[in-house]
Amino acid sequence: MAAASIKTANALAILDHYEHQIWLDIVPLLELIPENKKEVAKVILREGKLTSSFIIDGAMDTTNTGFRKLAGGAVLRRLVG
């Protein structure tokens, strides 16, 4: 059970790294945007980074909660059984 939790956390950390790298790769593209649209693009970029960060955090929290409940059930079975 702990191994599955560690593997899931590792996969989410890798996903977080790639997600972060994608946003870093987008920044140079801002130079290609016309000046009158640049501020809107920056706002979209900030909102996208924030949203994707919330999604990754939510996935990690959900996984953590699921594994805690699973571990709690296993402990309870051992105490009762």
Which tens digit of pLDDT belongs to each residue from 11-64?
777 777 777 778 788 878 888 999 999 899 889 888 988 888 888 888 878 877
pTM flag (> 0.85): no
Name the band, by pLDDT with cuts 50, 70 and 90, for residue 2.
Answer: low
Res. 67: pLDDT tops 70? yes
Number of domains in the chain: 1
Name the band, by pLDDT with cuts 50, 70 and 90, for residue 75.
Answer: confident
Q: Which residues contact 41 (CB under 8 A, 6 or more apart)?
A: 30, 33
Domain that holds residue 11: 2-80
pLDDT value, residue 36: 93
